[in-house]
Every structure is written in structure tokens, then in C-alpha cells.
Amino acid sequence: MADYVQPHVDVPALTSLLDGTYVEVRNLVRKNLAAHASILDDAIEMPRAEFRERIKDLIRELAQTGASGYGFPTEYGGGGDIGASIAAFETLAFGDLSLLVKTGVQFGLFGGAILQLGTKRHHDAYLEDLIKADLMGCFAMTETGHGSNVQALGTTATYDVETREFVINTPDDASRKDYIGNAAVHAHAGAVFAQLEIGGRSEGVHAFVVPMRDAKGRNLPGVRTEDDGRKIGLNGVDNGRIWFDHVRIPRENLLNRYADVTESGVYQSDIDNPDRRFFTMLGTLVQGRVSVGGAGMSASKVALTIALKYANRRRQFGSPNRDTEELLLDYGLHQRRLLPRLAKTYALHFAQEVLAGQLHEVLSDPETPEQDRRELESRAAGTKAIATWHASTTIQECREACGGAGYLSANRFDALRADTDVFTTFEGDNHILLQLVAKGLLTDYSSSFGELDQLGMVRFVAGMTVDTLIERTSVHKLLQRVRDALPNDGRWDQEAGLLDPAYQLDMLRWREEHLLAGVARRLKRGMDNEVDPADVFSRCQAHVIAAGKAHVERLILEAFVAKTEALPDGDTKVALNLLCDLFALSTLEEASGWFMEHGRLANTRSKAISREVDDLCRKIRPLAEDLVDAFGVPPEMLHAEILGL
């Protein structure tokens, strides 16, 4: 500590760094949020039906500023910049989350489906009105009986050759569309996912534009809707159920980017494999997962800003030899509760920055190689899972850290906690998403998408040696580059400094490789013993998810390390290095039991990591308020009585 020089945080400069390329976009959204700060009071005071209308009207008002159309083509009134749309959405998450989610449903899901799955005829017909929010829509995928398993949806779209129409039908209550945002009241049309049937043959799930309501908001013939009722949160969003009773739509309403049906009923697609076609279609909708992960991260920023600012003001107990009580943030335990979460939020911010950049590149280039798309989908799934779990636990810890004051609606934690709760299952249940990440690591990237089911993956693993499988993963290649530069006598692992990013990364990579190899061995052993493939996979699911989580945590740390290494020397770099070290070592500390069980961490080194985490918290403590101020949350959005706001 004697040689340590406390850095100074230049808050505007750090905010600019965090805002990145899209400073102007983020500032426009901040300005819009500040101008409509009363929405946070409205969420508490207005009856549900009135608040829903308030949110809808505000969506239309914000659409006029251009803040909701960044990701759409310029010829339809959009901004032509997918990266800008992600930045805008992340920043909008500083405000009321019903407004955020309804924005996501309208422009991200409904609009994204038409943009990414449709062709010019659909773009010409819908995008301009959609971007202005004159055409309100919904994204009708999930059903009461099927959520994550989209391939098994029950809604049907049967082609009638004589009339050249599709007939959309809900065969039973398990096949009703459910939990659909905008469905209960506001959607005039839906992007409806249904099993395409032609001449008695199923061609799998496809998306269709289905009109639902007339200009006065009345259901069209054959369409029945119902409100889902009150929810834990997000009650400004009209989630509902939809039934279709043989609703006829024109043939042209099939979103036909990847498949089409001729007037005579001939099915056509450039992608022959039906499973690959299905996953390619879903892959274009990856923006939703990227957006939800970013929103969870932003909600964490709001909670941490309130809690850390409060902890730097509130006094309690302390030494009897002092005239004043101790600030909460001066207590080591309070630092331990909040500062590692602050460090992880910064880590997630830079990981999200990498992910958003990849999304922009992939969706902007129709010629993007399939492997790049697969890697994007995997990274989006994993980052969304980690970021939204982090939001749930961080908001709760921040609430508790503010004591009884945190329980008051006047300090916003109730809304943050309730409204983000669904994020862990929004756009895919987090456990399923981490399972997908691990499957991507276990499956040969060059294989067809059809091998991503449980049976295909287990058979794939069973046909390979474990060494060959690990060789084929990007994990092995990354590990080898690090280990080639290390001595072979094992001393480096014990002698490397805890604050050496190469050591931190090697530990996370080693865990990832070990978990992945272990899953492969278990799957192969089960197949060798002729156990049913579904049972084999079920028994390994917890192991599979652990491997996926380890992979994503390594990616997050890599993004943080890369960001800090690229910075010029100075106080900002010193401050971010402190946060990066705290994230890395608190991650190792959390998994210390696993590392010790597997012989990679000695007792003395484990204790040294904990001491270093304590020391890093003490060093970051004087910077904490500046570090949360750099998030740039508008004061109006903190809306916290305990801060006088």
C-alpha cells in the first residue's frame, strides 16, 4: 500500500469511454428520459389500464425523435445502424422498464422479424408505419405448451391452393400464443410463428404477418385475445394470449427470406436441411438476446448508482472515539457486498460492447460466414444469461444494502427488482441458453444445425475421442497460445502475480477446458454403456451448464483485459485495471472450492486471493461514486428519495 498512488477519475472522460462510438445516440436517449421523468411516478400511481395507454403514447412520442428507428434501413425512415439501436436500447433501460420492454416488442421483436425474416414486399408494406409506431405489432412465438422448444409449436398455417391463402389455426389451448407483449390491447398485427403445412406435409415452423385488430382496436374475425392479467412487474406492457380460428391471410404474408411457397403450393428454399433452415431463421433474431442482456446491465448500473451514492452519505455506528458515525461505504463488508458487483458490471459493459460490435457486423453483411453467425449466437446467449442473472442478484443486494429505505418505492428498487425479474427467462431461459453455449462448444462447427439436438450431440461426442473433441474447440486453441509461452515445470502457476492478467485468464481457461472435457467424457461413457441418449444428456445437464458459464466468464474477462490494455497510460487505465483485477479475482474466489477440488489452487493461494480482493475493494472505495457517476444515469432516473432526488 505504501507505493500505491490513488488515481483520479475524470468522470466525463470515463463516461465518454463507456458511451463509445454512440455518444450522441446515448445522449439523445438520456435527454428524452429526463424530459419524461414523470413516467416513474406514473408507474406507481396510475391504474394499470391508464398506465398502459401512457406507455403506448410515449412510445409514439419517442418514435418521432428517431430514437427507436436506428436499426432500420434509411429508405424507410430508419438510421441504418444496428449498433446504434443497441446503444439506444441499453440507455433507455435507465428509465421505466415497461417503456423499454414495449419498445423492444414493437421495434426489436415485431419490427426485427419483419426486417430480418421478410423481403422487400414486407419492408415496403410495413416498415415505415412500424417505425413511426402507427402500426403496433406483437411477436407471437411462445405458446402455453411450448416456450423454449420452438420447433414443437402447435399453431398451424395450412396453405389453401385454391384461394392462394394460408389458414392460421390454434388447434388446442396448449397451442394458444401466450405471454405475448402488445397482444392484450394494442397490437394491430402479429409476426406469428406456426407450423407450415402444404398438402398434408409439414415444412416446419415459419413466420407470417397476421392482422389482428382493426383501426378501432377491435379483434378481427377469427382472432380471440385475452389479457394475461397482473404480473410481478412490467404492468405497463399488455401481455396477452391469442387464439386463431382458421384465420385466412394472403400467400404474400409469409415472411419469405429463407423459404417461400409458390401459388401452386410448391415449397421452395435455398437451405435444404429443415433443421438448419429453422436455426438460421432464429439466428437472425439474435438481436433480442443482445438487447435484453444490455438492458439487464443498465438496470444494474441504476441500482449500483443509488446504493453506492447512499453508502457514501449514510452514517451508522463507528468508533466511540470519533465525533461522527462511520460511512457505510467505509465498512469492509459493505465494500465486499457492492464493489465486486460494480467491477462485474464494468466487465459486462465491455463484453457487451464486443458483442454489439459483432452483431452489427453480422447483421449488416448478408455474406457473413455461417461459423461467425454461430459464434455470435453463442456469445449472445451466454452474455444474456450472465448479465440478467447479475442484474437480479445485484439489484437485490443493493436493495438490502440500503436497509429499510431500500424497501420504499420512493427509492426505485421495487420497480427495478420486479421489472427485471422476467429478464432471466425473457428471450430464452438462462439455463437453456447456457446449455446452447455448451452444445456449440461440443459440436463440430462445420456440422449441420440438425446435430444440435440432444441425440445428435451425444452421438457426435460418442464417435470421437475426447482429445479430438477438445482439439476442435476454440477453447483449446486459446489455451495453447497461452501455455506455449509458459514454463513446463508448473512453477508459473504458483509464482505468477495474482494481478497478472495472463494468470487470471489462464485460470479461467483451464476451468473451461476441464469442464468441457469432463462433459465429453460423461457423454461418451453413457453412450458406450448403451444408456438412452436423452437420459445421458439429462444426467449431465448441470455439468453442461457449468461448462457454458465458465466459457462466458472467460469471454467477459478477455473483453475487459483487452479494453484496459488498449488504453493509454493514465488514471483512467489505473482505475479500470483495479476493476478488472477485482472482477477476475472475485470470480476466482467464488469458484475457489472447485479449483481446490481439482488441484489447481492451494489453500495459501486461495487465502491470498481473498486478501487481494479485500485490498482491491479498499483501493476502489474512494473512486466508487465517481465510477458510478461515469455510467451517466440521468439524475431524474435515479428517482431516489434517499439521495434527495
The pLDDT tens digits of the residues spanning 65-76 come to 888 899 999 999
What is the per-residue pLDDT across 315-363, written as a single tens digit (0 to 9) for each?
Answer: 888 777 777 889 999 999 999 999 999 999 999 999 999 999 999 999 8
All domains of the chain in start order, with CATH: 11-131 (1.10.540.10), 139-273 (2.40.110.10), 287-629 (1.20.140.10)
Instruction: Point out the least confidently predicted range of 243-247, 371-375, 404-408, 419-423.
Output: 371-375
Q: To the nearest whole percent, how much of the chain has pLDDT over 90?
A: 77
DSSP 556-593: HHHHHHHHHHHSPSSHHHHHHHHHHHHHHHHHHHHTHH
Residue 296 pLDDT > 70, yes or no?
A: yes
Strands 156-160 and 189-198: parallel
Chain centroid offset of residue 584 CA:
21
Instruction: Point out the least confidently predicted range of 32-41, 383-392, 464-473.
Output: 464-473
Q: Which grid cell sits at 131?
A: 417505425
pLDDT confidence bin for 536, thresholds 50/70/90: confident
For the purposes of burial, counting CB atoms within 10 Å of the CB of 149, is it exposed (0-12), middle (13-18) or buried (19 or more)? exposed
pLDDT confidence bin for 565, thresholds 50/70/90: very high
Residue 150 pLDDT > 80, yes or no?
A: yes
User: What's the rounded mean pLDDT across residues 293-301?
Assistant: 98
User: What's the rounded mean pLDDT across residues 358-378?
Assistant: 88
pLDDT at residue number 495: 63
Residue 503 pLDDT > 70, yes or no?
A: yes
- Residue 437: how many CA atoms within 13 Å on its side-chain side? 31
Q: To the nearest whole percent, how much of the chain has pLDDT over 70?
A: 91
Residue 464 pLDDT > 50, yes or no?
A: no
pLDDT at residue number 584: 98
User: What's the rounded mean pLDDT across residues 476-492?
Assistant: 46
Are the C-beta atoms of 579 and 343 separated by less than 8 Å?
Answer: yes
Residue 458 pLDDT > 90, yes or no?
A: no
DSSP 37-49: TTHHHHHHHS-HH
User: What's the rounded mean pLDDT across residues 194-205?
Assistant: 95
pLDDT at residue number 19: 98
pLDDT confidence bin for 496, thresholds 50/70/90: confident
pLDDT at residue number 369: 87
pLDDT at residue number 463: 52
Residue 287 pLDDT > 70, yes or no?
A: yes
Are the C-beta atoms of 123 and 73 separated by less than 8 Å?
Answer: yes
Are the C-beta atoms of 581 and 499 separated by less than 8 Å?
Answer: yes
What is the per-residue pLDDT across 85-121, written as a single tens digit (0 to 9) for each?
Answer: 999 999 999 999 999 999 999 999 999 999 999 999 9
pLDDT at residue number 315: 86
pLDDT confidence bin for 488, thresholds 50/70/90: very low
- 645 vs 273: which has the higher pLDDT: 273
Residue 442 pLDDT > 90, yes or no?
A: no
Report the interhelical angle of 430-442 vs 533-566 (nearest 10°): 90
- The enclosing H or E element of 113 equals helix 111-117
pLDDT at residue number 471: 47
User: What's the rounded mean pLDDT across residues 193-212?
Assistant: 96
pLDDT at residue number 415: 97
